[in-house]
A and B are shown apart, each in its own frame.
Chain A
Amino acid sequence: MEYFLQQLINGLTLGSVYGLIAIGYTMVYGIIGMINFAHGDIFMVGAFVALISFILFALTSIALPIVLLLTLLIAMVFTACYGWTVEKLAYKPLRKSFRLAPLISALGMSIVLQNYVQAAQGARIKTLQPVIQGGFNFFEDSNFTVTLSYLQIFIVIVTIVLMAIFTLFITRTALGRAQRACEQDRTMTALMGINVDRTISMTFIIGSSLASVAGMMFVMYYGVIDFYIGFLAGIKAFTAAVLGGIGSIPGAMLGGLLIGLIETFWSGYISIEYKDIAAFSTLVIVLIFFPTGFLGKPDIEKV
């Protein structure tokens, strides 16, 4: 029981990170129907920006909560610029081209970002000292102590807050409405007087800033990053988006949590070596029974 609880806590934390990345995949897919393979690397850039920012702030004597907040903002702003630039450079010129072209361009962008970070930051792993330490211990008198660290609480709370803000943004604001309209019919959205290109750019900016928060959490949680972390995390988050139903935002959040939980429970109870295979096999099994994922719905329209 105690062991189960510990895995649950770990799984929810990891799931939060995947969920935040998965939103970026699902939003971009929803709006321009393409899988942004460079999104995992945007997450990696976010982790590096956060790392650099933490190291710089460590030289000052600013209080920890302010450091966390500033790092969060810096990571979001910088990474959003990367996401925006990638879209302008690699995808926008190909918008009227055949469907595969932006996909190939995305793969190229992924390689470019990896090599750029490798060249700029070096190929060795980078480490970060724990920024938030300590936590609550439960069941200390039994033979397994359950730990809920402050860092895990921080990660889950930030994720919940960001997802709540994001959901309000999508459902309540004019830009969110324009985004949902673009998902359905871009030509018609333009005929409403809405600048579709700008709406698409905003999608990339929002997706990238959420991924950067995931990157910041990743570097805080594991303390080790290199230029290649975006690949596996990106593929996992993409799996999460597909599991939840690609194009569905609640689906991405749900899928992220599920992948995080599956991975930790598999590592905890079966074997840590095959945790990635467990996550991907789940996807295969789910897609057999729910071809559109859990929350993705095929379009049924009345004509």
Chain B
Amino acid sequence: MLNISKVETFYGNIQALRGVDIKVNNGEIVALIGSNGAGKSTLLMTISGVNKAAKGTINFDNKNIENLPPHEIVNLGISQVPEGRRIFSRLTVEDNLRLGASSNNKGKNFDEDSKEVYDLFPVLRDRLTQRGGTLSGGEQQMLAIGRAMMARPKMLLLDEPSLGIAPKLVNQIFISIKNINKEKGVTVFLVEQNAKKALELADRGYVLVNGNINLEGSGKDLLNNPDVQSAYLEGGKK
């Protein structure tokens, strides 16, 4: 479904991605793990067209998207929940959701789709008239995921959904990611520092080190891999 091939991305003179190859099949959950600064967020922003790939190709549903502007990529069916959630804090929760629905039939499916989002995150229904910035971190994350789902994406890119969120809510968010994948059939590409949680959830995983894909395999294999354990898991278990 998504085929990333030899992608290189630069920030000014600094090379953030050094020829990344990743494949995500329809219906999968694929996790990308890696330390801070490995280039994980850069990769997601490159897929979404915010950063331009200097070299390489990104193919989605048999269409090359590496030169498309971000809004057209969203219209093709790739929605992103970015790092730090980036909800519109001065706008109401409802406005945030309506913005998410912009690409979807010009917002005409709002009533229908918002019901599905409220089923996923009931708390949002009670917060509709509140400004986004007044929500707690976990609620903001739910809003960010709900907002992305309003576009009826084929594929959801999630960047660090557990970052800065109460541990109790992290579980809830991972369960809803699983639901989005299993029940709504949305393919998920997940970037996480919480490698254990991400690999437990994922069908397959990739490890990104310094802009290169270092390892790949099924979620289970990577969890049991000694290198992955020493680099990303044991530190987290302390």
Contacts and interface: CB of A to CB of B under 8 A. Distances in A.
Given A177-B99, A185-B86, A301-B89, A193 B50 contact: no
Contacts of B90: 180, 184, 299
B118 interface: no
B27 interface: no
B86 A193 contact: no
B109 interface: no
Contacts, number: 77
A31 to B, nearest CB: 13
B125 interface: no
Contact of B50 (A177, A187, A195, A302): A187
A131 interface: no
A284 B217 CA distance: 64
B91 A184 contact: yes
Interface stretch (B12-20, B56-64, B75-83, B196-204): B75-83
A192 interface: yes
Given A192-B100, A193-B74, A195-B71, A185 B151 contact: no
A194 B102 contact: yes
A291 B80 CA distance: 37
B82 A191 contact: yes
B107 A193 contact: no
Interface residues of B, number: 32
Given A193-B71, A193-B74, A188 B103 contact: no
B89 A194 contact: no
A193 B79 CA distance: 9
Given A188-B88, A192-B100, A193-B71, A177 B95 contact: yes
A188 B102 contact: no
B37 interface: no
Nearest to A187: B50
Given A174-B106, A181-B88, A184-B89, A194 B133 contact: no
A191 B91 contact: no
Interface string A268-303: 000000000000000000000000000000011111
Interface residues of A, number: 22
B171 interface: no
Contact of B103 (A177, A180, A192): A192
A168 interface: no
A188 B106 contact: no
A183 B145 CA distance: 21
Interface string A156-181: 00000000000000000010011011
Contact of A194 (B48, B79, B99, B137): B99
A196 interface: yes
A153 interface: no
Interface in B28-66: 48, 50
Nearest to B69: A190
Contacts of A301: 89, 133
A181 B86 CA distance: 11
Contacts of A188: 82, 86, 88
Given A191-B48, A194-B99, A302 B134 contact: yes
A192 B99 contact: yes
A194 B88 contact: no
B161 interface: no
Contact of B102 (A184, A187, A192): A192
Given A178-B102, A191-B80, A185 B88 contact: yes
A105 interface: no
B134 A190 contact: no
Contact of B107 (A174, A185, A187, A190): A174
Contacts of B88: 180-181, 184-185, 188
Nearest to A302: B133
B50 A178 contact: no
A64 B155 CA distance: 59
B89 A191 contact: no
A181 B147 CA distance: 13
Interface of B: 48, 50, 69-71, 74-75, 79-80, 82, 86, 88-91, 95, 98-100, 102-104, 106-107, 133-137, 147, 151, 164
Interface of A: 174, 177-178, 180-181, 184-185, 187-196, 299-303
7 contacts: A174-B106, A184-B88, A185-B88, A188-B82, A190-B71, A191-B50, A302-B135
Closest 5 CB pairs of A and B: A193-B103, A193-B74, A190-B70, A188-B86, A192-B99
Given A180-B91, A191-B80, A194-B103, 19 more contacts: A174-B106, A177-B99, A181-B88, A181-B95, A181-B99, A184-B89, A185-B88, A187-B50, A187-B70, A191-B48, A191-B74, A192-B74, A192-B99, A192-B151, A193-B104, A193-B151, A195-B69, A301-B89, A301-B133
